[in-house]
Amino acid sequence: MTWDLMSSLALVVVVVVLVSAILVLTLDNLIGAVAVSSVVSLGVSVLFVLLHAPDVAMTEAAVGTGLSGVVLALGLRRLGLWRLEGDRGERRDLAPENLPSPVQPTNRRLQPKGDAGA
């Protein structure tokens, strides 16, 4: 087996993907974990390019890096976990406080239409 430039590049990308995958599992900051998961997808897409599969690489880059990162970030925001650690340890929101919530909480129960029991 000959060791060439492509093998060296593939080894570097595999190491970056493995380190990033371990970071996704160990990070306490959820926004950082979302960003690092996008790095994992980007590394996998580079591996697909090295394997001469550009169509699969473009799909992985678009879906894995772009769409999944956005969906995960929006999910964090929806759950109220969209926070960063400040310089002095305090937590701060990324979004300003005066923005209205997309879903307003309500205490009303849904009432069935008609009399099902009568």
* Integer CA distances (angstroms), 100 to 30, 96, 97, 103, 115, in order: 23, 10, 8, 9, 37
Q: Please give the helix or strand (H or E) that residue 112 lies within, else none.
A: none
The reported pLDDT for the residue numbered 29 is 84
Q: How many CB atoms lie within 10 A of CB 44?
A: 20
Q: What is the reported pLDDT for 77?
A: 82
pLDDT in tens, 17-62: 999 999 999 988 888 888 899 999 999 999 999 999 999 999 998 9
CA distance 98 to 1: 62
pLDDT of residue 33: 87
- The 10s digit of each residue's pLDDT in 58-110 is 999 899 888 888 888 888 888 877 665 554 445 555 555 555 566 655 666 66
